[in-house]
């Protein structure tokens, strides 16, 4: 699960450095009702070409949930029966994090990260499937990696197409969110490609991670999770957003402050029983965008659960319903 215990000690201080939102209702909407297997962390969701939905998540060997109606979710095991052997180079449990599912060129693509808590000795991998369902994935190995000498952390992948090119946003702490261009044939990073910088915080430990990029109208919108996850009801996760006319940035918030200078409009924060909202992704369903995320349920001992909200673009910025 997402990554550093250092954030807990500094969360209060760094929150004060982030500007107030200009685009979200301060009361925040509750997630849409869901039933069945609600436990999830870092969800990525897609509507399948065959009908119904699948969600993948941190936990297990990339945990899977399926739904016929986006409301009732059932456990569907894991994306893989066993971890690919190369994962053990990055942790000793074969435990992947924060998957990202997409569809292009007649196949489903599943990106994911392997690492250990508190280190940037990390890698992002990719697998493909003809159906998108668990048990049908073929792993293709490493897409991109980072080492302790790097100023970034190769986890939390999110893939987006822009102007005929394929890009992957990624990053967690270690100076924040980055982006690299991918080869669309292999789905892997182009050798020697520039590692671009999209968002960070003013001070260490640079508590921003889990990017997701959405193209809407004239703009690319960068969603990211700020502050500390993975601490149950003590989690301070929240989702902020900026936008740019270019997929590679610069991204700014509604006040014009750069996300490289700590900017970002507050889209969703914990409220009531819904604590530590983050680990987000966006999926499209019948012309409607949806935000998928996890929250820690304060009425259930801080258990991480699935949150889904409609995304409205009426103001030119994402707002949740």
Give the Å distances, CA to CA, from 33 to 29, 71, 72, 288: 12, 7, 9, 17
Does a cis peptide bond (omega within 30 degrees of 0) precede residue 250?
Answer: yes
Spatial distance between the Cα atoms of 253 and 69, rounded to a whole number of angstroms: 34
- For the cut 70, the answer to whether the pLDDT of residue 160 exceeds it is yes
What 3-state DSSP class applies to 307?
A: strand
In the residue annotation, 183 being an active-site residue is answered as no
Domain ranges of the chain: 6-311
Catalytic residue among 42, 100, 227, 297: 42
Using pLDDT thresholds of 50, 70 and 90, give the confidence band for residue 101.
very high
Name the DSSP letter for residue 31. Answer: P
Structure tokens at 297: 């349920």
Instruction: Give the strand pairing for 303-312 and 319-320.
Output: antiparallel
In the residue annotation, 105 being an active-site residue is answered as no
Catalytic residue among 95, 100, 139, 209: 209
Nearest to 231 by CA among 299, 295, 306, 307: 295
Nearest to 58 by CA among 203, 222, 230, 189: 230
Does this model's pTM top 0.75? yes
Nearest to 320 by CA among 279, 287, 292: 292
The average pLDDT across 168-193 equals: 98
- For the cut 50, the answer to whether the pLDDT of residue 303 exceeds it is yes
Largest interatomic CA distance in the chain: 48
Instruction: Give the strand pairing for 288-297 and 274-285.
Output: antiparallel
Spatial distance between the Cα atoms of 190 and 143, rounded to a whole number of angstroms: 9
State pLDDT tens for residues 27-75. 899 999 999 999 999 999 999 999 999 999 999 999 999 999 999 999 9
pLDDT of residue 27: 87
CATH 2.115.10.20 fits 6-311, yes or no: yes
């Amino acid at each position: 699960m997402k990554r550093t215990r250092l954030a807990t000690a500094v969360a209060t201080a760094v929150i004060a450095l982030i500007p107030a939102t200009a685009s979200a209702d301060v009361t925040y909407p509750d997630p849409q009702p869901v039933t069945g297997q609600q436990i999830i962390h870092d969800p990525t969701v897609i509507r399948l070409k065959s009908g119904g939905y699948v969600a993948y998540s941190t936990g297990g060997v990339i945990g899977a949930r399926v739904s016929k109606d986006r409301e009732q979710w059932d456990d569907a095991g894991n994306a893989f029966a066993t971890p690919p052997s190369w994962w053990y180079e990055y942790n000793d449990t074969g435990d992947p994090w924060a998957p990202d599912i997409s569809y292009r060129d007649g196949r489903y693509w599943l990106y994911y990260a392997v690492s250990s808590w508190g280190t940037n000795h990390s890698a992002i991998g990719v697998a493909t499937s003809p159906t998108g369902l668990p048990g049908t994935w073929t792993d293709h190995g490493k897409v991109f990696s980072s080492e302790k000498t790097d100023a970034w952390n190769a986890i939390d992948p999110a893939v987006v197409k822009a102007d005929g090119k394929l890009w992957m946003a990624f990053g967690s702490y270690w100076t924040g969110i980055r982006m690299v261009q991918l080869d669309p044939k292999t789905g892997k990073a182009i050798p020697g490609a520039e590692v671009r910088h999209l968002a960070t915080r003013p001070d260490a430990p640079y508590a921003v991670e889990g990017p997701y990029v959405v193209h809407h109208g004239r703009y690319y919108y960068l969603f990211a999770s700020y502050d500390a996850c993975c601490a149950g009801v003590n989690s301070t996760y929240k989702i902020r957003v900026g936008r740019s006319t270019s997929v590679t940035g610069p991204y700014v918030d509604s006040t014009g402050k750069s996300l490289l200078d700590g900017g970002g409009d507050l889209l969703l924060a914990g409220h009531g029983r819904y604590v530590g909202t983050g680990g987000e992704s966006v999926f499209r369903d019948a012309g409607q965008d949806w935000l998928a995320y996890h929250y820690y349920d304060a009425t259930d001992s801080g258990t991480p659960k699935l949150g889904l909200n409609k995304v409205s673009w009426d103001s030119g910025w994402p707002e949740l319903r």
